[in-house]
Amino acid sequence: MRLRLAARQNGDADWAAWDEVEVSRSSTPVVHTVRVTAATAVVNENAGTVSIPVAITNAGATATTVEVALSTSLGTATAGADFAYPATQTLTFPANSTTSQTLTIPLTDDALAEAAEYFTLRLQNPTNATLVAGSTEVLVYIKDNDTPAPTRERNLTLSLLGSYQNGVAGTSSAEIVAHDPTTQRLYVVNSIGARLDILSLANPTALTPLASISMQPYGNLNSVAVHNGVVACAIENANPKLPGSVVLFDQNGGFLRQVTTGSLPDMITFSPDGRYIITANEGEPRSDYTVDPVGSVSVIDFAGGVAGLTQANVTTVDFSAYNGLAAQLRADGVRLYGGTAANPSSVAQDLEPEYVAVSADSRLVYITLQENNALATLDLTTKQFTSLRSLGYQDHSQAGFSLDASDQTPDALLANWPIRGMRQPDGIAAFEVAGQRYLLTANEGDAREYSALTEATRLGDAAYVLDPTAFPHAALLKNSQVLGRLNVTNKTGDTDGDGDIDQIHAFGGRSFSVYNATTGALVHDSGDLLERLTSTDATFGAIFNASNTTGTPTRKNRSDDKGPEPEGITTATLRDTVYAFVALERIGGLAVFNVNTPTQPKLVQYINNRSLTTGTGDLGPEGIVFISAANSPTGQPLLLLANEVSSSVAVYGIQLKGTVTATTNPRQATPLYLYPNPAQGGRVHLSRAVSGTLCDVLGRPVRTLSRADSFETTGLKPGVYVLRAENNVSTKLVVR
């Protein structure tokens, strides 16, 4: 239609007109659409009902209907038991009505303690309308009201004695701490400050600084250990792709020796008998993967002490023997994916040792390979690897393995999902019960993030394509209040090689695990216990899954990552009980467990020392050290916690039920080992310093020991001897 518009102006004397004005209408018809108003809903189990609104846009002159069906492929709640939904229901929108229709679903308030459950509803078969893509499904969370906070035994109590800050957070750090009982000194890794800080533990309630030694002449400090007054530091080369070193100092920080190790020594320890110094050499690649050093373990024979130490005493063992077994290792679950498409890493380059634990008899070393989700065993006698095993996955769809997977939901919603969590432990510890050795792992998780290889991605990213058969509700799973925010790996999970994801692999187990050290079999995994513990804690539940930032803590801002991130772990025998201490890197603090029954550890206590409202207190615990009563300056067992982010060392006193005095030796149940055994002349080393008597088979004394960690066997006749140490601990020695 063409119009001519005219208007009077200038007192009606003149006219002004405009031509070429068109009035038109669209040829596109108005579309009537129906959609759910939100992708998720959260309701308490005892709420009685849950209401699901469904909205219509551009209502028509005739009524509109849509069916609401219950999905059978995405849900953990059971219709008829947890909620009532007997059949598909139909909603009707009257003609010309723009009012939302509400579906009301009755809930059952049962008395079962269970994870948060959920069910999924789907819009289908509309009449006189179309469905809005991406808005056809709603997932309803039912938050359980019967699950109690985990029970704490409380037969052991940790009490904070003091926390010492060795510098301003951000300009200094306190990653690892080591204790020397001969001087009651602490040696603290201040990696950011590039210094080794020396503190006095003479008064555990008030640590005092004694010295601070610059590490710049040697390289970058990563870890520290001490034995009989010798301080050993793991030093990263200024060019971290080149071999690193171990630098030995005296108790005052005076230089003694330096020997070369593999690339990037990240952790260091002495064997219990003091004969060996061992480093885990991570061998990380350059960001563009033009250089990728092999991962390795360096073993330094320290039997001759500082005076006898040369480079000839260092054996660095890598994984080259496994280079032809990549396919088999991948099939077994070892994660090997480093390098670029044009230049993939070898097995030896891809394996990255993170942390080590040494058996009490100083014969075996257990090495976590965090990024590879694997564990290796090294024989100290032969200096060869004897096993390389995958550590498997958490099946988060199973009871007891729930997780809080989104930082966008309004509350802690620990639920079961079709996710597999790669355990990827950092810290590891060895302990023995009833003659059987076990390993404890802190399943922190870690991702490789380099310029040439970045494996972490959000599940909701478009490039992360879920297999439509395995995940028919992929669009809903990718919602930010479901799993869309969860960080996952893009390097594994395509099990059939067709380019999409058949299994969702998330970082970390959010747990600790117990393994049989001999067979490698998993005997226990704590599952969702750590998240249940922290989410229900009367105090720290307010900052559940908060990060360790120095700013104001934000509740749940690590739920989409790796949750509490258990990182450090150690054990101690007190009286007749073996305890495990697990440090939680993100929310902070320590969880204590009785592991006398390795298949069923019992929670004892959780303690934390950080502010709920400000970024103060102890933040980012990493290094953890137990000090026995015999080695404590006060006669009370102590626990040290090095907190990387806050640059602080916390000292906790340990109290047991009943009286604990300086004469109570917590080592009484700890086995005593001799090495080598059998002996053929020369010195025999002890797994710990003891006082006692070596007797022949007739009970006649042949050697007297006073806080000795070794003794000479030359001159002893062949036969069987018994070393009787304090507190009725004894062990046999065979002399040939």
Q: Which residues contact 180 (CB under 8 A, 6 or more apart)?
A: 186, 187, 226, 229, 231, 251
pLDDT in tens, 313-337: 999 999 999 999 999 999 999 999 9
**Higher pLDDT, residue 708 or 160:** 160
Q: Which amino acid is at 257?
A: R
Torsion angle (degrees, nearest 10) of CA 495, 500, 501, 507: 110
| Dist CA 365 CA 359 (whole Å) | 6
Query: Look-up: residue for tokens 């005052």?
Result: 252
**Angle at alpha carbon of residue 523, lines to 519 and 524, rounded to 5°:** 150
Binning pLDDT at 50, 70 and 90, where does residue 666 land? very low
SS3 534: helix
Alpha-carbon distance of 642 to 520, in angstroms, equals: 30
pLDDT of residue 13: 60
The burial class, CB within 10 Å (0-12 / 13-18 / 19+), for 382 is exposed
Query: DSSP string of 80-116?
Result: TTTB---S-EEEEEPTT--PPEEEEEEB--------B
- Quick count: other Cβ atoms within 10 Å of Cβ 600? 11
State the pLDDT at residue 366: 98
Span 392-434, pLDDT tens digits: 999 999 999 999 999 999 999 999 999 999 999 999 999 999 9
> In 29-58, which positions are buried (b, 16+ CB within 10 angstroms) versus exposed (e)?
eeebbbbbeebbbbbebeeeebebebbbee
Give the rounded percent of residues in the chain with a pLDDT score beyond 70: 93
Distance of CA 265 to the CA centre of its chain: 20
In the structure, what pLDDT confidence band is assigned to residue 660 with cuts at 50, 70 and 90? very low
* Exposure of 631 in the CB half-sphere (CA atoms within 13 A): 24
Its pTM stands at 0.87
Residue 603, SS3 per DSSP: strand
List, for residues 261-274, the tens digit of each pLDDT value: 999 999 999 999 99
pLDDT, tens digit, 9 for 90 and up, residues 353-405: 999 999 999 999 999 999 999 999 999 999 999 999 999 999 999 999 999 99
Shortest CA distance to 403 belongs to which of 525, 540, 510? Answer: 510
Alpha helices in 336-414 (DSSP H): 347-350
Burial 71-106 (b: 16+ CB within 10 A, else e): beebbbbeeeebbebeeeeebebeeeeeebbebebe
State the Cα–Cα distance between residues 423 and 735, nearest whole angstrom: 44
Cα 328 versus chain centre, distance: 27
pLDDT at residue 625 greater than cutoff 60: yes
Residue 125 half-sphere exposure toward CB, CA atoms < 13 A: 8
Closest CA to 584 of 654, 517, 529, 655: 529
d(CA 401, CA 531): 10
Alpha-carbon distance 691 to 656, whole Å?
25
Asked whether the predicted pLDDT for residue 6 surpasses 70, the reply is no
